[in-house]
Amino acid sequence: MTSTIPTQFEAALVDEFGPTLNIRDIDVPKPGVNQALVKVIASGVCHTDLHAAEGDWPVKPEPPFVPGHEGIGEVIELGPGNHHNVEVGDIVGNAWLWSACGECEYCITGRETQCNFAEYGGYTVNGSFGSYMLVDTRYAARIPESVTNYVEAAPILCAGVTVYKALKVSETRPGQFMVISGIGGLGHIAVQYAVAMGLRVIAVDVSQDKLDLATRHGAEFTVNAREGDPAEVVQEYTGGGAHGVLVTAVHEKAFRQAIDMARRAGTIVFNGLPPGEFPASVFEIVFKGLTIRGSLVGTRQDMAEALDFYARGLIKPTVSECALDEINDVLDRMRKGKIDGRVAIRY
Ligand SMILES: [Zn+2]
Ligand SMILES: [Zn+2]
C-alpha cells in the first residue's frame, strides 16, 4: 500500500487571509499517533470555509492551511496507536470537530463540541480541500457501509450533523411547528431532518428559488422575508408562533426575526455565525419565557445518528459537483448567495 502513496498532492490553501485560495502541491502528511492518512474522494464546501479563508471570525486559523471539513475518503495508512476498529480500506470522514481532549469537563459530560482543546478540521488542522488528509481515528466520522454516493453524503459531515443537533436541542416534538430560517447549505438539509422527525416545517428565506427547494424537501409553508414582515406571517399561520425556530441564515436581521416568530415558551436555536450582534428585547424574552440557544456542530454520537438518517434514505442533500480548481468560483458564488443546496468537490 505504502508504495502507492505519492510524496506530494494538490490542495487549495489559504496562504494569507482574503478571497482567493491558492492551488498548489504540498507534502503528503505522515499520520501521527491515533491518526490515519485518508485519500479524499469528495469534500463539501461549507460557509465556514469562507470565514476561514477571510479570517473574519474572532478566533482565527493560522495560514498557510487547507480548509474543508466535509471530506470523505478511504483510509490508506494508519499511524501508531489504537485505531478502534478503523482499518485500512475503511471509508471515513473528517469533520469540524476534528478531535477533542476527551478528558475535560465538557468532553466527559457529552458536550465535546465545547472542548477548549478541540482541533477543528480545515481550520486548526489541514482539511479536505486536497486529495489527501489526516483524521484522528477516535473522532473521524464512520461512513455507513450502505452509503456509496460520497459526493451526496459529504454535506452530512458538517451541514447535516449541525442542523440535526440543533433540531435535537430545540426540544421540539412531532406535530409542532419548526421554522427553518435560511434555506442554504444547512437550511435545506434542516428542512429534511425536521420533516423526518415529524415536525411541521415553515421555511423562511429571501429567495423564491430557495423556498421552492424547501417545498420540494417537505416544508408545508414558506415565507419570503423580502415581502413584508415574516414574523407576522408566521405568527398568523401557526396561531401564536412556532414552537422552535432554527436560524441557519447568516444575516443579522434573521436573528431578531427569530425571536418574533417564536411561540411563548418556544426555543430559538442559532446555527448561523455572522460576525456581529443583534438587538433583543429583554422584556420579550422574559415575558414569553423564551430559550435562546447556540448550537455548534455535534458530537460523535450526533454524527453517527445524522449519518444513519442519511443512510436510511430519509435525507437527500441537493449537491452539485465541482473540481478542486473551481474552488474560488464556488466560494465567490457562495459569498453572493448563489448556490442552491451544497457544492462538493470530487477528486
Ligand atoms: Zn461547516
Ligand atoms: Zn475536552
Q: How confident is the model at residue 275 (pLDDT cuts 50, 70, 90)?
A: confident
- The string of pLDDT tens digits covering residues 87-135 is 999 999 999 999 999 999 999 999 999 999 999 999 999 999 999 999 9
Residues, CB-to-ion distance under 5 Å, ligand 1: 46, 48, 158
Residues, CB-to-ion distance under 5 Å, ligand 2: 100-101, 104, 107, 115
Give residue 317 CA to ligand 1 midpoint distance, Å.
Answer: 14
Question: What's the maximum distance between 2 C-alpha atoms anywhere in the chain?
Answer: 66
- The CA R_g of the chain, rounded to the nearest whole Å, is 20
Per DSSP, 186 falls in state T
- Provide the pLDDT for residue 251: 86
Give residue 136 CA to ligand 2 midpoint distance, Å.
Answer: 15
Shortest-distance ligand to the CA of residue 117: 2
Global confidence as pTM: 0.95
Mean pLDDT of 24-32: 98
Q: What size, in residues, is the chain?
A: 347
Shortest-distance ligand to the CA of residue 111: 2
Shortest-distance ligand to the CA of residue 299: 2
Give residue 166 CA to ligand 1 midpoint distance, Å.
Answer: 14
Give residue 262 CA to ligand 2 midpoint distance, Å.
Answer: 33
- The string of pLDDT tens digits covering residues 196-248 is 999 999 999 999 999 999 999 999 999 999 998 999 999 999 999 999 999 99
- Provide the pLDDT for residue 3: 55
Q: Identify the bridge partners of residue 177 per DSSP, sorted by sequence position.
A: 200
Among 294, 305, 295, 299, which residue's Cα sits nearest to residue 102? 299
CB 156 within 8 A of CB 341: no
Shortest-distance ligand to the CA of residue 45: 1
Give residue 165 CA to ligand 2 midpoint distance, Å.
Answer: 19
Shortest-distance ligand to the CA of residue 161: 1
Shortest-distance ligand to the CA of residue 97: 1
Shortest-distance ligand to the CA of residue 107: 2
Q: Give the cell for residue 48.
A: 465556514
What are the distances in angstroms from CA 297 to CA 84, 95, 111, 164, 205? 23, 9, 11, 9, 22
Alpha helix ranges (H) inside 202-261:
208-216, 230-238, 253-261
